[in-house]
A and B are shown apart, each in its own frame.
Chain A
Amino acid sequence: MNNNSAVTFEGVCRYFGEVRAVDNVSLIVRDGEFFSMLGPSGSGKTTCLRLIAGFDRPTAGRILLYDQDVSQLPPYERDVNTVFQDYALFPHMTVGENVAYGLMIKKVPKLERQRRVEEMLDLVRLPKMALRKPGQLSGGQRQRVALARALINNPKVLLLDEPLGALDLKLRQQMQIELKTIQKRVGITFIYVTHDQEEALTMSDRIAVFNQGNVEQVGTPTDIYEHPATLFAAGFVGVSNLIRDELAERITGTQQPFSIRPEKIRLAPLAEIPGPNTFSTTGCVGDVIYLGILTRYLVELDGGGDLVVVQQNLETTSMDVLSAKGQHVRLIWSCDHIRHLET
C-alpha cells in the first residue's frame, strides 16, 4: 500500500429533490487499500458507491479516479467494476459467459477469454462451474461468480455493494476472510459498502462512517473503535455506553458527553473503594444475558439511566452470573478508557 489516492471525493453532493442523500462529502481512498463505507441504511454510502461507478452523477463536487475527473463519465468509460448487492448475474448466460462478459465486450480473443475465465473461477474457488446457469447456483456461489465477473477486467478499483448481505452468518464470515485474501492477492483497491460494523472492522484497512449523507469519521478500525470522533460513530461502531448531561457531570464532573465500551467496565462489590485514576458509579443489576463466552449485564444506575457491562466468563458459570440479578454493585473503569465526544 502506498499513499497515492485511488478515489478522491471533493465536496461531493447528491440531492434527490429535497433529500440530501450525499451532502458535501470529501474523502480520499488510497491505492491498494480495503476501504469500507459503513453506515445505517439511508446514510448515503450506497449513493457514494453509485457515484463512483457512474450510475449516478453528483449534483455538485468532483470525483477523481487516479487524478482523472470522472464525475461526468458514463459507467462504461470508467475503469472500475462493481459487485452488486443482488449480484446482477445475467440469467440467460452461463456462469462462464457471465464471467467472460467484460472481455467479450472488449473483444478479447475467445481462447484467451476461456483461459482467463478458468483462472478467475479457480481464484474464487468455483472450478468446473462454467457451464452452469446462475439459477442453478447457491447464494454463496453466485456471490463468487459476481466477484469473478468484476475482477476479470482487472479494474483499478473494485466496488462492492453489501455483497454478503444475503448470506447466512457462517458463510458470511467465511466470505469475509476470503474477500480479504483475494484483495491482498490481486492488490486492487476495494471499496466496500456495508451496514455491518463487525464486517467493516474485520476486513477494512480504513473505514468511513456515514450518517445522514455526511462522513462522521475516517480511520482505521482500531481508530474508530477506540477513538470514536462523534457521538454517532461511538454508538454505531460496536456497543458503547453514551453518557451525557447530568449523568456525565455526576461521574466526571463536567457535562461533556463521553463513551465507554461495555467490556472496559468492571463489576465490583458495592463496598470496594475505587483506585486512583478511575471513575465509578453504583447501580442495581437489571437484566443478565448469558452469551456463553460473555455475559451482558444491564445495570440500572442509582442516579437514573443505565449502562451495559460485558464480562468474560473466565471463572463464572451461568448459575453464578444469573444470580447477580437484582444485586447492588459498583461499576469501575479506568479514566483512560473513556472517550470525550463532540456532540
Chain B
Amino acid sequence: MSGSYGAVTTSAIWKPEMLRRFSTYLYLRPWLVLLLLLGPPMLYMLVVYLGSLFALLINSFFYLDGYTGKVVHQFTLKTYAELLQPSNMEIILRTVVMAGAVTVADALVAFPLAYYMAKHSSPKMKTWLYIAVTLPLWSSYLVRVYAWKLILAKEGIISWFVNLLGLDGVLSWLLHLPGIGGSSLSLSPIGMFIVFTYIWLPYMILPIQTALERVPKSLMEASGDLGAKPASTFRFVTLPLAFPGVVAGSIFTFSLTLGDFIVPLSLGNSRFFIGQAVYSHQGTSGNIPLAAAFTVGPVVIMIIYLLFARKLGAFDAL
C-alpha cells in the first residue's frame, strides 16, 4: 500500500520536472521548434502542392501524337505552338478580357461597401456585414450558379422585371450586341459576367476592407485639414493606401475567373473559355499536354499581372 503511494508521489514530482526540462530544451533551440511546426506543412507544400504544379509544367512540354492518340513523353515545344494557334489564343484572350472586366466590376462594387464597413459602421453592424458578405460562401458554389441560371433565364425574374419596366427593347438590344450577346441572359457572356462578378465579390470586399481598416482615420482628417476636399482625400490618401487591398482582391477575382469552368459551362455558348478548354482537352480528347499548356497560360498571365501591379506601386504601402 505504502509502496504504491510512494510510486504515485515520485511520478507526480517527476512529470512536471520532465516537462520543465523539455520546454527549456525547446526554448533554447528555436530552430527545432520551427522545424517541428513547419516541417509537416512544408513537406506537404513541396510534394503535393509544388509537385503537382511541376508535373503540370513537365506535361505541357510533351505532346499528343495525332495518329496514335498517345502522349509522347519527349521534350518538345509543339504543344505550345499549338496553343499559339489563333483559335486557342482567342480562348485565352476572351478569358483574360472577361477576368479583367469582372475584376474591375468587383472592385467598383466592393470598394464602397468595404469603405463603409471599415470606416463608418459600428462594431455590431460590422459583424452583421461580415456575415452577410461571407454568407454566400456557406452554400455550394454549383447551387448558386444554377440559381443564377434560373434568375437569368428567358422566363426568369430579370426578364420578367425588365418587361414590367417596359425595357425589353434595351435587353434585346444588349443581347444582340456582337461578342457579348446571346439568345438569353442565361446563355450569353453578359450573363457570365454578372454571375462571375457576384460569385467572386466576397474575395474582393474582404481584402479591401482589411486594407482600409489599417488606414488611420487621422490620415484622412489630416488631408482635409490641409485643404483637400473629400474627393481629393480619396484620390491622394485613401485610394493609394487601400490599393494593396484592391490588388490582393483582384488576384483572387482575376485568377478565379481565369481558371473557372463551371460558369462558362453552364451559362456560356459555344465560345470556349480557358477552364472549358482544359476540361475538354484532358477529358474527351485525352490531350493532357495541351490541357497543361492551357493551365500554364493563366499562371504566366498572373505573373505578368503581379509584375505590372508592382510597377504601379501597389505594394509600396505594404
Give the distance in Å from the alpha carbon of A92 to the alpha carbon of B215 in the complex. 11
- A149 and B227 CA atoms in complex are apart in Å by 12
Which of A99-107, A124-132, A259-267 is found at the contact surface with chain B? A99-107
Q: Which residues of A contact B240 (CB under 8 A)?
A: 92
Q: 14 A–B contact pairs at CB < 8 A?
A: A53-B225, A75-B221, A76-B226, A76-B228, A82-B221, A84-B222, A90-B222, A92-B241, A92-B313, A101-B226, A104-B236, A105-B228, A149-B226, A150-B226
CB distance from B127 to the nearest CB of A (A): 21
Q: Enumerate B223-270 residues with CB–CB distance to A below 8 Å.
A: 223-229, 232, 236-237, 240-241
Closest to A106 in B: B227
* Contact of B218 with A88 in the complex, beta carbons under 8 Å: yes
User: Which residue among B216, B218, B232, B313 has the maximum number of chain A CB atoms within 10 Å of its CB?
Assistant: B218
| A54 vs chain B, min Cβ distance (A) | 8
Min CB distance, A120 to chain B, in Å? Answer: 13
Give how many A-B residue pairs fall within 8 Å (CB-CB): 65
Q: Which of B225, B227, B236, B241 contacts A91 (CB under 8 A)?
A: B241
Partner of A153 from the list B218, B224, B227, B232 (CB cut-off 8 Å) is B227
| Given A55-B221, A82-B222, A105-B232, A88 contacting B216 (CB threshold 8 A) | yes
Q: A91-B317, A92-B241, A92-B316 are in contact. Are A105 and B218 (CB under 8 A)?
A: no
Contacts of B219 in A (CB 8 A): 88, 90
Residues B134-175 near A (CB distance < 8 A): none
Select from chain B the residue with minimum beta-carbon distance to A85: B218
Main secondary structure of the interface of B (DSSP, over half): helix
Count chain A residues whose beta carbon lies closer than 8 angstroms to a beta carbon of B: 24
* A81 x B224 contact (CB < 8 A): no
Identify the closest chain B residue to A152 (Cβ).
B226
- Partner among B218, B227, B317 whose Cβ is within 8 Å of the Cβ of A102: B227
In the bound complex, CA of A86 to CA of B228 (Å): 20
Q: Is A74 an interface residue (CB 8 A)?
A: yes
A124 to chain B, nearest CB (A): 16
Q: A91-B317, A92-B316 are in contact. Are A101 and B223 (CB under 8 A)?
A: yes
A153 — which chain B residues lie within 8 A by C-beta? 226-227
Interface string of B198-233 (1 = CB under 8 A from A): 000000000000000000101101111111110010
Tell me if B317 and A74 are in contact (CB < 8 A): no
Complexed CA–CA distance, A202 and B191 (Å): 70
Contact of A75 with B224 at beta-carbon distance under 8 Å, contacts A91-B317, A92-B241, A92-B317 already known: yes
Interface string of A40-70 (1 = CB under 8 A from B): 0000000000000111000000000000000
Contacts of A80 in B (CB 8 A): 225
The answer to whether B317 and A84 touch across the interface, beta carbons within 8 angstroms, is: no
Report the bound CA distance from A284 to B112 in whole Å. 69
Contact B237 A90 (CB under 8 A): yes
Q: CA–CA, A101 to B313, complex, Å?
A: 19
A105-B227 in contact (CB<8A): yes
Nearest residue (CB) in B for A50 is: B221
Check B222–A88 contact: CB distance below 8 A. yes
B68 to chain A, nearest CB (A): 59
Residues on A facing B (Cβ under 8 Å): 53-55, 74-76, 80-82, 84-86, 88, 90-92, 101-102, 104-106, 149-150, 153
Which of A74, A92, A106, A150 makes the CB contact (< 8 A) with B224?
Answer: A74
Q: A104-B236, A153-B227 are in contact. List 9 more A-B contacts (CB 8 A).
A: A53-B221, A74-B224, A75-B224, A76-B225, A76-B228, A88-B218, A90-B237, A92-B316, A106-B227
> How far apart are A76's CB and chain B's nearest CB, in angstroms?
5
What residues of A have a CB within 8 angstroms of the CB of B316 in the complex? 92
Residues of B within 8 A of A54 (CB): 224-225
A91-B317, A105-B232 known; A81-B226 Cβ under 8 A: yes
For A75, what are the chain B residues with a Cβ–Cβ distance below 8 Å?
221, 224-225
Interface hits, B270-318 → A, CB 8 Å = 313, 316-317
Please state if B224 and A102 are interface contacts (CB–CB under 8 Å): no
Instruction: Report, nearest first, the 5 A-B pairs whose CB atoms are least far apart.
Output: A88-B222, A88-B218, A102-B226, A75-B224, A105-B227
User: Which of A75, A149, A150 has the most chain B CB atoms closer than 10 A to its own CB?
Assistant: A75
The answer for the CA separation of A106 and B226 in the assembled complex, in Å, is 9
A38 to chain B, nearest CB (A): 22
Contact residues in A for B237 (Cβ distance below 8 Å)? 90
Over the window 66-85 of chain B, the binary record of Cβ atoms lying under 8 Å from chain A Cβ atoms (1 yes, 0 no) is 00000000000000000000
* Residues in B neighbouring A105, C-beta threshold 8 A: 226-228, 232, 236
Distance between Cα atoms of A82 and B227 in the complex (Å): 11
Task: Collect the chain A residues with CB atoms within 8 Å of residue B218's CB.
Answer: 84-86, 88
Q: Which residue of A lies closest to B219 (CB)?
A: A88
What's the nearest-Cβ distance from chain A to residue B241, in Å? 6
A206 to B95, alpha carbons, bound, how many Å? 69
- Give the docked Cα–Cα distance between A86 and B316 (Å): 21
Most buried by A among B216, B224, B229, B241: B224
Please give, as numbers and ranges, the residues of chain B lying within 8 Å of A104 by CB-CB distance.
236
A90 CB contacts on chain B under 8 angstroms: 219, 222-223, 236-237, 241
A140 to B228, CA, bound (A): 26
Q: Which residues of B contact A55 (CB under 8 A)?
A: 221, 224-225
Q: How far is the CA of A80 from the CA of B229 in the complex (A)?
A: 15
Note all chain A residues with C-beta closer than 8 A to B223: 90, 101
Find B221's partner among A88, A92, A101, A150 (CB 8 Å cutoff): A88
Q: Please name all residues of chain B whose beta carbon is closer than 8 Å to the beta carbon of A91 when the two chains form the complex.
A: 241, 317
Report chain A residues within 8 Å CB of B317. Answer: 91-92
Residue from the set B225, B232, B313, B316 with the largest chain A CB neighbour count within 10 Å: B225
